[in-house]
Structure 1
Amino acid sequence: MSRRRGLTQEDHELWSRVTRTATPLHKGARHPQPTLPPKPAAPPAIRQPVETSFAPPAGLRIGAASGQGPRGHDFARSPADALAEQSLRMDHKTHKQLRRGKLRPEARLDLHGLTLAQAGPELASFILSCKSRGMRLVLVITGKGRSGDPGPLPTRLGALRHQVPHWLHRPPLSSAVQQVVPAHLRHGGAGAYYVYLRR
């Protein structure tokens, strides 16, 4: 291993004494003065850890009751909660029948097993096709997402279940869709949506 070369303070003093007593070979020549290595910087001060305690925000419910995953990792609102907060844009009586599963969908689309990249165009094609044929109520099945142990990291189960309502409320589908409602248990429950189309 090569050692880092440099003069210590003692070496520097010794070299100075030697150069004062030495006679140069050539007139006018000077002995080179060694340079001292820079002094090492003082080590940074060590910060003492600050004790903090984490408390969840007031009103945040942790656990299955808040629509989270099996271990309570998903702090986002469930799609059903988000849809329930939207204003009603259809007839109240029809909406009530729809929520009770009394109305029968005229067509259905099953997105099970598709990736988000595959499901987006499939959904758009289906909705626009049903609208052009004059249909009013269709069913979109997303599935609830994989179950099982999500591990220690936060996960969101059911990517399609979360993404489909967003797609339905954005162009070009927003002009064809009047209301999106979570499906009744007989039509798929939390893993499906009723999509009520405009005339």
Structure 2
Amino acid sequence: MSKAPKTLSDEDRILWSLVARSTKPLKGRAAVEVPPEPAMTMEQAMAATEKPTPKPASPQRQARPGQAVTTSLDAPTHEKLARGRLPIEGRVDLHGLTQEEAYSLLLSFLGRAHAGGVRYVLVITGKGSSSGGEGVLRRAVPGWLATPPFRMLVSSHDHAARHHGGGGALYVRLRRHAARRP
């Protein structure tokens, strides 16, 4: 019996391309040129992850306040995360990624974390270039968290404490699973 060839997930492909870019060939060997795979645009990724939203059964369900992303964590929760009294159960570092790579990696990471019952994660975007400009991912990630694919996963987010990355990182609170609610 032969095993079926293993295909890489989008996240694995992104991570491998980062590792491959950082390597140098051995002495006396020529670098092998690998043609880049066509990357998915953010619009394609969003279209692929969007699911048709079912019509609400009643007006009460539609007016439920917990469905919108709150942009900031409440003060006691933020303080507990900053002081280490609430565990940060997952981290993802988006340094050095393009927007498309970062988008797909973040979406898959948050999806797996949510499925695993994780409640709080740290998303490291970086602060941007040293030339005074604000980082592209630092500006983009909070906007992405408000889009429909992320709204199903994210309850709220806020800037991290200084020792967790400060303005170059975000605390993200993930939603609870509907089945686990009382």
**Contact 2:160 2:169 (C-alpha < 8 Å) held by counterparts:** yes
Query: Which residue in the other structure is 2:121 paired with?
Result: 138
**Cα distance in structure 2, aligned partners of 1:90 and 1:191:** 17
Give the direction of change, closer, same or farther, for the CA distance of 1:113–1:100 in structure 2 (3 Å limit): same
Query: Which residue in the other structure is 1:166 paired with?
Result: 143
Give the direction of change, closer, same or farther, for the CA distance of 1:189–1:102 in structure 2 (3 Å limit): farther
Matched, 1:197 2:174: yes
Measured after TM superposition, the shift of residue 104 of structure 1 is 2.8
Matched, 1:98 2:75: no
Give the direction of change, closer, same or farther, for the CA distance of 1:108–1:181 in structure 2 (3 Å limit): same
Please state whether the residue corresponding to 1:157 is helix, strand or coil. Answer: coil
Query: Which residue in the other structure is 1:8 paired with?
Result: none
Aligned residues: 108
Query: Which residue in the other structure is 1:12 paired with?
Result: none
**Cα distance in structure 2, aligned partners of 1:160 and 1:92:** 25
Give the direction of change, closer, same or farther, for the CA distance of 1:129–1:90 in structure 2 (3 Å limit): same
Structure having the higher Rg: 1
Query: Which residue in the other structure is 1:20 paired with?
Result: none
**Contact 2:70 2:156 (C-alpha < 8 Å) held by counterparts:** no
TM-score, length of structure 2 as denominator length: 0.53
Please state whether the residue corresponding to 1:120 is helix, strand or coil. Answer: helix
Unaligned runs of 5+ in 2: 1-68, 177-182
Q: Which has the higher contact order (CA 8 A, sep 6+)?
A: 2
Q: CA RMSD in A?
A: 2.3
**Cα distance in structure 2, aligned partners of 1:174 and 1:194:** 15
- Share of identical aligned residues, percent? 47
Please state whether the residue corresponding to 2:148 is helix, strand or coil. Answer: coil
Query: Which residue in the other structure is 2:15 paired with?
Result: none
More helix by share: 2
**Cα distance in structure 2, aligned partners of 1:144 and 1:87:** 22
- Alignment partner of 2:153 out of 176, 179, 182: 176
